[in-house]
Structures are given as C-alpha cells and as structure tokens.
C-alpha cells in the first residue's frame, strides 16, 4: 500500500532502546489539533493511537521523505534526526530525551537542543506542557528552503556540539 505523498505532521522518537512516553502521550493528546494526518514513528516505545498513523520504525528513505513532506516535524533531540530536518529545510520542534526520566543514558540531547535552540535551528519543548506553545511557534514560522548547504552547516554545528560534549567543554 502506497503512503500519502503529504504527511502534515511527522513525529519521531528515534530508535533508542528506551521508551519515550513523555513525548508520545502529549502528541496523542494534541493530535486532533495538529495538521492532519499525523504520522508517528514510535521506535521501541509502546504506543497506540486512534488519531495517528503509528509505525515502530521507518527505512531511511521513508524517514527522509516523511520529514520532507511534513508541514510540522516533531522529533526527539537526536543529532541524526535533526540533520535530516535541516536538510529538508525544516526547523523542527524537539524534545530532548532525559536521563532523569530513564529515556536515555545521559543528557547529551539536552545540551544539543540548548545549543541548537540558541542558534535558531530548533524549537525546544523541554517538557510535555511546553509542546503546545512550541508547536504554535513552529506553525507560525515561514518555511525555509531545503538545501544541502543548510544541512551541511547543521551537520557541522551538531558535530561541534557533540565534540564539545564528549570533551567536557559544555
């Protein structure tokens, strides 16, 4: 069965082995109010919804197409996912996975999200209650043009953030 060529809202939690219920539960609550249809890549998080199309995992081509086709992109704050969004000309809403909630082994996504938020590359929802306002900000933005140059700049910025994190230079 062929998927629709236009996915209005695309949500992805990545492929971490830890579940990410904070983001998914809030998306389920907001789904009727988001641009339709809503597609959720839930990874290893148990998630069912009557208002969202749910897929555990997508191949890279399908993931990239879903990001590119979406009007609204909501992601975990994973570097690879954010780079895909930048290459597609998107400024995603991101919610970092947090160690204190058992969503990741450390808080590198927090540091990455903060750095990218400060440079205007993402809109961060730190907690579920922040998601409504972050989505409203994202939908109010003028879309940017996709391009490899922007993706390359984002990839370099992400790489720099990760290197700083790894060396302890936060």
Q: Dump pLDDT digits (tens) for 71-93.
A: 999 999 999 999 999 999 999 99
Instruction: Give the model's confidence band at 2: pLDDT under 50 very low, under 70 low, under 90 confident, else very high.
Output: very low
Cα–Cα–Cα angle for 5, 128, 64, nearest 5°?
25
Quick: pLDDT tens for 116-129: 999 999 999 999 99
Quick: pLDDT tens for 45-74: 999 999 999 999 999 999 999 999 999 999
81 found inside a domain:
yes
Domain that holds residue 107: 9-167
3 found inside a domain:
no
32 found inside a domain:
yes
* HSE value, Cβ hemisphere, 13 Å, CA-based, for 149: 2
79 found inside a domain:
yes
1 found inside a domain:
no
Instruction: Provide the β-strand partners of residue 40.
Output: 11, 54
Residue 152 has pLDDT above 60, yes or no: yes
Q: Which residues of 132-170 are buried (b: 16+ CB within 10 A; e: fewer)?
A: eebbeebeeeeeeebeeebbeebbebbeebeeebeeeee
Contact in structure between 97 and 15 (CB atoms under 8 Å): no
CATH of the domain at 56: 3.40.50.2000
Residue 111 has pLDDT above 70, yes or no: yes
**146 Cβ contact list (under 8 Å, min separation 6):** 68, 87, 88, 89, 90
10 Å CB burial of residue 99 (0-12, 13-18, 19+) is: middle
156 found inside a domain:
yes
Cα distance between residue 11 and residue 93, in whole Å: 9
10 Å CB burial of residue 60 (0-12, 13-18, 19+) is: exposed
Instruction: Provide the β-strand partners of residue 73.
Output: 10
2 found inside a domain:
no
Instruction: Give the model's confidence band at 155: pLDDT under 50 very low, under 70 low, under 90 confident, else very high.
Output: low
45 found inside a domain:
yes
Structure token pair of residue 150: 């922007």
Our count of domains for the chain comes to: 1
What is the pLDDT at residue 1?
Answer: 39
């Amino acid at each position: 069965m062929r998927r629709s060529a236009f996915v209005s809202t695309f949500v992805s939690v990545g492929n971490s082995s830890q579940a990410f219920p904070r983001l998914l539960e809030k998306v389920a609550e907001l789904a009727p109010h988001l641009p339709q249809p809503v597609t959720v890549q839930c990874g290893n998080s148990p998630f069912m919804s009557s208002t969202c199309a749910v897929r555990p995992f997508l191949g890279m081509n399908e993931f990239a197409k879903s990001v590119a086709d979406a009007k609204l992109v909501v992601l975990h704050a994973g570097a690879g996912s954010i780079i895909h969004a930048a290459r597609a000309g998107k400024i995603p809403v991101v919610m970092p996975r947090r160690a204190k909630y058992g969503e990741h082994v450390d808080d590198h996504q927090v540091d990455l999200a903060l750095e990218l938020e400060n440079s205007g590359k993402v809109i961060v929802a730190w907690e579920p209650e922040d998601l409504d306002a972050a989505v409203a900000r994202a939908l109010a933005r003028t879309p940017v043009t996709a391009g490899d140059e922007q993706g390359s700049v984002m990839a370099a910025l992400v790489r720099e953030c990760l290197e700083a994190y790894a060396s302890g230079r936060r």
